[in-house]
Amino acid sequence: MMEASIVVRPPDTWVSSLGTSGDKSVQFRTCLPYGSKGGRGLIEFDDDEDNEGLIEKIRTHPSVDRVEVHRTDDGRISASVINHSCCASQALAASDCFLMSAYSMGEGKVRWKLVTGMEGSLLSLVKSLRDAGCETEVEWIRAIRESNLLTKRQEEVLRTAVKEGYYEIPKRIYLEGLAKKMKVRPSTLGEILKRAEKAIIEDYLENR
């Protein structure tokens, strides 16, 4: 397993309107395709007096179809944003890479932290992003330490869970349905997923 950090500047989404490093930092919880060309994402940022300007900037961008906003109990703003055009989301969805985290950096750039089974998958994603018009810089690539590597079974289960929509918001499949599809007990599947998630999260936190 490999992990990597890349910086992406998509040309066709509201992210490009975050023009300076002084703009609010936005965290991307999910980044998924929408239709054949668009993307949909769940984003979060701190709840403060600058929010209305940022929300309006997102809502009025030409690529944005819909924005739904709500406040969380921990002082954050959560927003679902649907774009009719997002080449970055499309390229990511077509790749064999998993997006672990993403943050805006200003100047229309987003830092992605990714996990993938092999370096070739990452290089293929980078090529797809560049071919689609996204400015893309690879910051680093490294092997996940052996102590945190997933077993073959954990990787198989995790890939199936992602493919079937277990991690989407809202979920397209729940634990019981996924367990039935994989012909295992829900309790067994839940344990495998937890161990796989723990391995990836621990490695990410230690190397952040």
pLDDT in tens, 129-141: 999 999 999 999 9
Residue 56 contacts residue 75 (beta carbons within 8 Å): no
- Average pLDDT of the chain is 87
Report H helices in the chain. 51-59, 87-93, 119-131, 152-164, 175-182, 186-207
Q: For 115-125, what is the mean pLDDT?
A: 87
Tell me, rounded to whole angstroms, the distance of Cα 173 from its chain centroid. Answer: 18
CA distances from 141 to 55, 74, 75 (A): 34, 34, 34
pTM for this one? 0.66
Give the angle 49-74-44 at the CA atoms, nearest 5°: 65
| Domain spans of the chain, in order of start | 2-143, 146-207
Angle (deg, nearest 10), helices 152-164 and 175-182: 120
Of 105, 140, 124, residue with least CA distance to 5: 140
Q: In sequence order, which residues have a C-beta less than 8 Å from that of residue 60 and are 6 or more positions away? A: none
Dist CA 10 CA 128 (whole Å): 12
| Three-state SS at 85 | coil
Q: Per the structure block, which two tokens stand in for 64?
A: 């944005």
Q: What is the pLDDT of residue 21?
A: 45
Q: Between these two residues, 126 and 51, which has the higher pLDDT value?
A: 126
Residue with tokens 């943050």: 103
Q: What is the pLDDT of residue 31?
A: 87
pLDDT cut 90: percent of the chain above it? 47
Dist CA 13 CA 34 (whole Å): 13
CA distances from 142 to 1, 5, 116 (A): 9, 9, 10
pLDDT cut 70: percent of the chain above it? 92
Residue with tokens 């992602």: 162
Q: For 34-59, what is the mean pLDDT?
A: 85
